[in-house]
Structure formats: structure tokens, C-alpha cells
Structure 1
Amino acid sequence: MGECQPEAQVNGFAGSMIIALLCSKYEARLTEVSISQMYKVFFNDRTIYLDDTLPDMTKVGKDYVCAFENITDLKPQIKQFLDPEKKGNLHIFHDDQESLFKIFKQCFTNINAGGGLVRNSKGEILLIFRRGKWDLPKGKTEEGESIEQTAIREVQEECGLDGVELRDFLMSTYHIFKDSLRLVLKRTDWYSMHYPGNSKPKPQKEEDITDVRWLKPSGLDEIYSNTFLSVKDILEAGH
């Protein structure tokens, strides 16, 4: 099969490649967010859309559009999308969307994490600054703890706050990072949280966090201009 084509052309996936090749070359981050009838998979400032219908071909512009056929073709298509020379988003469609996403996840090693969207008594939102980007506190699950325990622990460790209270589940996101010769897909479950205290947050510098701030929702424009697409979705889901 040929490569997916830009400018709203529909095609199958490129020829097969082993996943190890994909794993050894790419380190960029990829994040997935499930929204309504579509899965959105973020890769830096680009997006993979996994859907059960063909997108509106008059609106996709220079994006790539592909029909899913099998996992053998899906792996090289992911590699093709991760090529730093590629531009535009990727639309993958199949009539069984849930099966499509399940197969998509099989292309990676999977781990779990938890994180929090924390508010204080003033309604301000807790954000961290890590590696040049505004982010939300999160981290990998440790052996023997629930995902809720993970979320609370990571917020308290990364922000130096005790007594954070868990509220409601918000959403799940996924991102990919390189681990040795593997591509790891990390699922992060996000929860709304409340901090009833008045202690000043402290950044966990060993995790490359250089700043922690409480910000009013009206002041998030500064954050939106320098954060990940997934964080924008989490902030919107938490409103």
C-alpha cells in the first residue's frame, strides 16, 4: 500500500516495518485524549484522530487521511507520522472505533499514571513549570497503590503540599515516550482535587520542576500559549 496522502486524500497504510525501528528513532511526546465519539492523540503540536467515520474532506486541509486495515500496516503508519519532517495531522478511520483504539495501544508498552487538577479555597488552579512548559502534576503508579493514591501522592510530591483532597474523576490521557528501545504509552487518569490549606507550594526540583503557581482561571491565557494540547483539554474538562 502507498503512504497516506496530504490535502485530504484517502489511502491505506504504508508497507510493514518492525516496531523496534520506530522505537529507536523517536523520543517526541504523544498524548491521547478520549472525547465524545472520537479519540484525539496528541504528538507535540499535531494530532492523530481515531474515528469511526470519514472526516469532512472539505475541512481537513493538508492533513493525512487513512482507512485502518490491520495492525501490520498501523505500526509503520505511526512511524510515518512521527517523522519530524512530516506536517499536518493524521485521521485514521474504521467502523469499529473501540477496536481501532485497542489495536493502536497494542503498538506500545503500556504503563499507568495519575494526576490532578487542584483548586484551592479561592478557586485558583495549581500548575507546575517543567522543562520549559506549563503542566499539571502527575506521575507513574507505584507497586501496590491504587490510581487514586498515585494521583494524590504525585500532586503532594511535585508541589510540596500535604492534605490534598481527591474529588471527581475527570478524564484519561495518554502520551508516548522513549524508554530504551521501546515506545511506552503512558495512561494518566486525571482527578479534580481540592487543597484546603494555605501553605506555599514548593517545586520538586529533582523532577525538573522549577516553578509552582496558583493561577486564577481568568489568568490561564499565559498558560495556554505555552503548554501541551492535552493540558488545555484537561483544564477545559475541569471547568
Structure 2
Amino acid sequence: MAHKQISAGGVVYRRGSAGLEIQLILDRYGKVALPKGKMEEGETVEETALREIREETGAVGIIKAPIDVIKYTFEHHIYGTVDKEVHYFLVEAVGGITKAQTEEINAVEWHKADAAWERGKSKLYANNVPILQKALSMLDLTFTG
């Protein structure tokens, strides 16, 4: 029986004087990523996503819609095979102050959508690219290639 691990996170966007901006993070390995983290006892996946986003980036968000669930397995030195499930949501930042949680990540970046896509498609973890692309299309933005 594989150990199961559930995480949640999201693609965070904001609309301000600069127009629509998309949040990307630089993780501690220097990779561009989307904020996410492990579910805690008694949380829903939505609560996990919003808490992790707030903890990692300082953004206080509201969930607009689910984007997708990524499933994969990996080998853990204690648990053996772990079935991992990551739930991603489209999240609008409505408050908070952008601040990277330095223990976990190196930086929080806000980009115009086209710049976020350019940076994301080449620098994101491969399984995050379709998540970003779906999020952009949900915001009525289409980028391909």
C-alpha cells in the first residue's frame, strides 16, 4: 500500500495599475515554480492552497476555480513509494504584502502575463507548464509554443 501525500497550490494573479500580473516563485533550487505545499490535518485542498500561497509569497488570495490535479509517484527513503497528488487552483491575490518565505523559496516575482509565459515555459518544472498555460487560458489569455 503506497503512502499518499496531498499538496495544493496555485497560479496567483492580480489586477492592478500595471494591469494583469502573474506570480511566479523561485524555489530554493533556483527553479521557477508555483507556490504549493502539503495539506495539514483537517484542511481542505482549497485551504491548503491559500495557506501555502500566503506562507510562501505573502499573498492573500481567493480561489477563483480549480485548474487541475497532477498525480505522480516517487520513492521516499522512509515511506517507500509515495502517491503524490497536487491540486492547483486559479487564485486572485486580493491583499497581503509580497514577501518570500526565505526558508522555503528564494524570491517571489510578478510578471505581465506574456513575460510570465515566456519565463515559465522554459524555466518552470515541466509538469507546471500546462498548469500555467491552463490558468492563462482561464484568464482569457492564450499563449502557445
With the shorter chain as reference, the TM-score category is 0.7 to 0.9
Q: Does 1:212 align with 2:73?
A: no
Counterpart residue number, 1:119: 13
What TM-score, normalized by structure 2, do the two folds share? 0.82
Aligned positions, number: 130
What TM-score, normalized by structure 1, do the two folds share? 0.51
Q: What's the CA shift for 1:178?
A: 3.9
Q: What's the CA shift for 1:214?
A: 0.7
1:1-239 residue pairs with structure 2 within 5 A? 108-121=2-15, 122-130=19-27, 131-162=29-60, 164-181=61-78, 182-197=80-95, 199-207=96-104, 209-219=105-115, 220-239=117-136
The 2-side partners of 1:156 and 1:175 are apart by 25
Q: What's the CA shift for 1:183?
A: 2.8
**Structure 1: which amino acid aligns with 2:47?**
Q
Q: What's the CA shift for 1:132?
A: 1.8
The 1-side partners of 2:98 and 2:47 are apart by 20
State the secondary structure of the residue aligned to 2:59: coil
The 1-side partners of 2:109 and 2:81 are apart by 32
The 2-side partners of 1:200 and 1:128 are apart by 14
Q: What's the CA shift for 1:175?
A: 3.8
Q: In proportion to residue count, which structure has more strand?
A: 2
Unaligned runs of 5+ in 1: 1-105
What is the Cα-based RMSD across aligned positions, in Å? 1.6
Runs of 4+ with >4 A deviation = none
Q: What's the CA shift for 1:200?
A: 4.2
The 1-side partners of 2:112 and 2:106 are apart by 20
Counterpart residue number, 2:143: none
Please identify the structure whose Cα radius of gyration is greater. Answer: 1
**Structure 2: which amino acid aligns with 1:156?**
R
C-alpha distance after superposition, 1:100-156 (max 9, x if no partner)? xxxxxx6x4221111111110132111110112100000111001111100100000
Percent identity, please: 32
Q: What's the CA shift for 1:177?
A: 4.0
Q: Per chain length, whose mean CA-contact separation is higher, i.e. which structure has more relative contact order (CA < 8 Å, sep 6+)?
A: 2
Unaligned runs of 5+ in 2: 137-145
Q: What's the CA shift for 1:221?
A: 1.2
The 2-side partners of 1:204 and 1:125 are apart by 18
**Structure 2: which amino acid aligns with 1:188?**
V
